[in-house]
Amino acid sequence: MESRLHSRTRDKHDKATKETLQRLHLNLAKSVDKVHNFFDNLMAITKITLHDMFKKTYGAIYEQNAYVFADFFKDLENYYTKGTVDLDDAMDNFFVTLYQKMFAELNRQYILDAKFLECVSEHMKEMRPFEDVPQKLTVQIKRSFVATRAFSQALTVAANVLKNMQSLKPSADCAAALTRMTVCPSCSGIPDNVLACGDMCANVMKGCLAQHAALDAEWNHFVEAVDKVADRLMGPFNIEVLIRPINLKISEAIMNYQENSVDVSNRVFAGCGKPMLGRRRRRNTRELELESLNFDQDTSEDRETGTQQLEKLVKDIRQRVRDSRQFWVYLPYKLCNDGLVVPPSNTKECWNGTHVDKYLYPVSSDGEAQPLNPEVRSTGPRPTIVRDQIFALTTITNRLRLAYNGQDVDWIDTEETWSSSGSGSGDSEDSEGSGDETLPESPEPEQPPKQPLQPVIHENNTPSQVNINIDKGAGTSGTSNNQTATVNSGGAAKQRMSLSRALTTYLVPIVVMWFGGCLNDLL
């Protein structure tokens, strides 16, 4: 009977704990879905806006090369969803490709092979055809996308921590204390309406949930980091303010190049050589010159509405995370207040563990350590599941701090690991250069390989004439001119120098010089 009572009491406590953790888990999981939906809608609207504007402005030239912009947006989306894209490489790749396409179109009278276009791209930093637009846009995109992804990932990690902690079972000492608190009154003939004293329940729950309280310090650091990144997202790192008018920023870069195209071409020819003239073809100047369009129509109102939506979303999520501060040390009191104890006014009419009277023991301190707890004597070492969740919180907190300081974050795709087993495996960020924040030390794993810069045209794919219309067949996939360059890594291993050769090469000259010096002294 005692064994059955222990089992039933333990199951009841386990269920109540899971339900409490599950409520916060679902709350954060819904916040993750809202952020994902907002990002997806933002990117979809931005792509449609850019497509409509560029199609109206450049006509067939844009449509034949629309894949360049599609690939650019795909890189941005892949960074947000997977974190495997190097944003610097993505931005460089986009503007290098755009530069080559425009140079070829503006110099259609020449025969431009792949080698020449590669030389064109090598002189891009020197020429600065788009002026400072690429540099500014790269910095803005990196800061906003890193912060947005870190914010989203943080919510995902926190939700998974709550989910994984639900698998932690009560100990045998906890089950005994729970039984003594909730079942023994009935065995002693005490009416069911007499509940445990509040201080007794607090001690029992603090002992039973001591392992949960081990997460409190890192959880609070996590809450603080989320709060700071939320401020960035509503301020200088606002992805809404950046992405919605990105078509205008790219248009500004194109116009800068068009205004200086003659000078840029002459400087390129001086550095790369003058290409051969081909058959001159007429071109439609309407397709090359930017029309006088009213780009600003409705953008102010749309931008303000979008910004208000983003601020409302981030503010709501930030408040939910703030409310979870000290969640783990308040958890014992939360469970005690859910029908397990009598109201504070009836302190003398409660079960104190032996009879109905006032509870005489003091309430134990909050936290993992419970050495003086009179109800649950032993809490045991930290289980692996607890250590894993602490590591997961530490890792994502480090990333949030880097994102807050506008620094890049090297991501390893740990979402699947955290969500499935809660092992928390992933990379730990370098704490150097992260402002005034002090980052906890954690193991340093292998860094993921960065994607190489993808040139537009290979040297081994040399057409007789290259111009903007070369990609008609690749207009949808964008694979023919966007392959990864092959780098000669010098695979042949260097031969090792033999011992005799080393002696002959290095030691013999030294001996000869020494012997010659001795002869010189004698003479």
Residue 298: per-residue pLDDT:
43
What are 117-168's pLDDT values in tens digits?
Answer: 888 888 788 888 999 999 999 999 999 999 999 999 999 999 999 999 999 9
Confidence band of 342 (pLDDT split at 50, 70, 90): low
- Position 237 scores a pLDDT of 94
In the beta sheet, which residues pair with residue 277? 110
Q: What is the pLDDT of residue 193?
A: 67
User: How far is 155 from 321, CA to CA, in rounded Å?
Assistant: 9
- List CB contacts of 305: < 8 A, sequence separation 6 or more: none
Q: Tokens at residue 95, please? A: 């503007």
Mean pLDDT across 439-468: 34
pLDDT tens-place string over residues 174-222:
988 998 888 876 666 676 667 888 899 999 999 999 999 999 999 999 9
Q: Report, as an integer, the average pLDDT of 476-488.
A: 36
- pLDDT number for residue 458: 33
pLDDT at 308: 64
* pLDDT of 485 above 70: no
- pLDDT-wise least confident of 198-212, 340-354, 386-400: 340-354
CA-to-CA distance for 249 and 253, rounded, in angstroms? 6
Q: Is the pLDDT of residue 30 over 80?
A: yes
3-class state of residue 108 by DSSP: coil
Q: Give CA–CA dist 239/141, Å, rounded.
A: 8
C-alpha distances (whole Å) from 347 to each of 145, 180, 191, 334 are 55, 18, 16, 18
**CA-to-CA distance for 202 and 210, rounded, in angstroms?**
12
pLDDT bucket at 447, cuts 50 / 70 / 90: very low
* Model pLDDT, residue 3: 78
Q: State yes or no: pLDDT of 35 exceeds 90.
A: yes
Mean of pLDDT values over 459-469: 34
One-letter amino acid for residue 214 of the chain: A
pLDDT tens digits, one per residue of 284-316: 444 444 443 333 434 444 444 445 688 899 999
Instruction: Check if the beta carbon of residue 471 is closer than 8 Å to that of residue 67.
Output: yes
Measured distance CA(350)–CA(198) in Å, rounded:
8
Q: Are 378 and 173 in contact (CB under 8 A)?
A: yes
pLDDT at 229 over 60: yes
Quick check: 350 pLDDT over 70? yes
Please provide the average confidence, as pLDDT, over all residues in the chain.
76
* Helix (H/G/I), strand (E/B), else coil: 196: strand
Assess whether pLDDT exceeds 80 at residue 341.
no
* The amino acid at 363: V
pLDDT at 166: 95
Per-residue confidence (pLDDT) for residue 135, from 0 to 100? 94
Tens digits of residue pLDDT in 45-88: 999 999 999 999 988 889 999 999 999 999 999 999 999 899 99
Q: What is the distance between the alpha carbons of residues 512 and 521, in angstroms, rounded to a whole number?
A: 14
pTM over 0.85: no
Q: How confident is the model at residue 345 (pLDDT cuts 50, 70, 90)?
A: low
The span from the CA of 22 to the CA of 71, in Å, is 40
Structure tokens at 47: 């792509």
pLDDT, tens digit, 9 for 90 and up, residues 362-382: 888 888 888 889 998 777 788
Percent of the chain's residues with pLDDT above 70: 70
pLDDT at res. 372: 85
Residue 190: other Cβ atoms inside 10 A? 14
Mean pLDDT on 228-249? 94
d(CA 103, CA 475): 18
Q: What is the per-residue pLDDT across 420-433, written as a single tens digit (0 to 9) for each?
A: 333 333 333 333 33
Structure tokens at 330: 């308040």
The pLDDT score that the predictor gives to residue 343 is 66
**What is the average per-residue pLDDT within 11-35?**
94
Whose CA is closest to 121, among 133, 106, 104?
A: 104
Q: Which residue has the higher pLDDT, 326 or 107?
A: 326
| Total Cβ atoms within 10 A of residue 307 | 15
